[in-house]
Amino acid sequence: MNDWQTPPDLLILKPYDLHVWQARLDVESDSLAAFAQTLSGDERLRADRFQFHVHRDRFIAGRGILRSLLSRYLDCLPQALTFSYGVHGKPALLSCQAYNCQALQFNVAHSQDRALYILSRDASELGRANRTVGIDIEQIRNVDRLEALTRRFFSAIEHAAICDAEAHQRSRLFFRYWTCKEAYLKATGDGLGKLGDLEISLSVEQSARFQRLPANESTQQWYLQELELDSDFVGALSARYSPTCSSSAESPEPSFRVHQFTFDPQ
């Protein structure tokens, strides 16, 4: 079953909604030119540093689509958005023309010509701290020295699961683990140095869940979901169930509602 839908005209992001968008980065020249017009001077400089046109154009499309999506939720011009970046490069909204734009949480991932975007609302209005979200996508491909790589950076259980899988399933299984881990690390803003501190439970038949997280973080505080994409891609998202900000908000949070949309540049 394909859960990706055409988005409604009016986008409403409720407190426990996660909106996930998939997009193609190889766009028509007129769309690319329009996206380029919305970029900041810094983004244009970054685009010009790419050696190959295909990578430059995909960067422009990826940033332009991000600005287009955020502007639709915030009802402002795409070029009015400014961003800040964490130590490991995680982007956040810094300012725009909209009221309290920093209440919109988001994350971005891309692989080859595909991109994923996730958006969520601040939970402070419910007496809870800001939640944080992360997303990742990878094209499935052969991995050199797969066994040595998983032995070094994955848990013993994860390493064994990949090595015990059928040969034709190992690359997909590896990237399923990888995207789940990356989604969490991108949500927290941590780098790959903590890759070995988290453990994912999954198998060829079983969907993913967190088994162990860094710094004794409770797995009950985190949501993890794999995404159904084209057969040669895998993806995952992660979101934190926000801790309460005050003693008046003691009830547990309900489950997230994930809505998946396909972006049309036209």
Task: Report pTM.
Answer: 0.92
Q: Are 102 and 124 in contact (CB under 8 A)?
A: no
Q: Would you give the distance in Å from CA 99 to the centre of its chain?
A: 24
The pLDDT-based confidence of 244 (bands split at 50, 70, 90) is very low
What band does 242 get if pLDDT is binned at 50, 70 and 90?
low
Block residue for tokens 């590896």? 174
Q: What is the dihedral of CA 90, 96, 101, 105, to 10 degrees?
A: -20
Average pLDDT in the 57-64 region? 98
Q: Is 200 exposed, middle or buried (0-12, 13-18, 19+ CB in 10 A)?
A: buried
Nearest one of 138, 106, 109 to 230, comparing CA atoms: 138
Least confident window among 82-86, 91-95, 173-177, 219-223: 91-95
Q: Under a CB-based contact definition with an 8 Å cutoff, are residues 120 and 17 in contact?
A: yes
CA distance 117 to 134: 9
Highest mean pLDDT among 204-213, 214-223, 230-239: 230-239
What is the chain's mean pLDDT, rounded? 88
Question: Tokens 């800001």 — which residue?
Answer: 130
Q: Is the pLDDT of residue 138 over 50?
A: yes
pLDDT of 99 over the 80 cut = no
State the Cα–Cα distance between residues 237 and 247, nearest whole angstrom: 29
Tens of pLDDT, residues 185-218: 999 988 887 888 899 999 778 889 999 999 878 8
**Do 192 and 198 form a contact (C-beta atoms < 8 A)?**
no
**Residue 8 corresponds to which tokens in the numbers above?**
């409604």
H helix intervals, the chain = 29-38, 41-48, 53-74, 146-153, 156-164, 170-188
**Which of 27-36, 226-235, 254-263 bottoms out in mean pLDDT, i.e. has the lowest?**
254-263
Supply the pLDDT for residue 129.
Answer: 52
Decide if pLDDT at 249 tops 80.
no
Over range 152-169, report the average pLDDT.
Answer: 94
What's the whole-number mean pLDDT along residues 112-129?
Answer: 79
What values do phi and psi take at 234, rounded to 5? -130, 155
Residue 130 is predicted with a pLDDT of: 57
Q: What is the secondary structure of 103-139 as a DSSP string?
A: GEEEEEEEETTEEEEEEEE--GGGTBPPP-EEEEEEE
Place of tokens 């453990």: 199
What does 11-35 look like in DSSP terms, one character per residue? Answer: ----TTEEEEEEEES---HHHHHHH
Beta bridge partners of 31: none
Percent over 70 (pLDDT), the chain = 88
Residue 100 pLDDT? 61
Residue 124 scores a pLDDT above 70? no
Q: Give me the pLDDT at residue 254, please.
A: 61
Read off the pLDDT of each residue in 166-172 and give the average, rounded to a whole number.
94
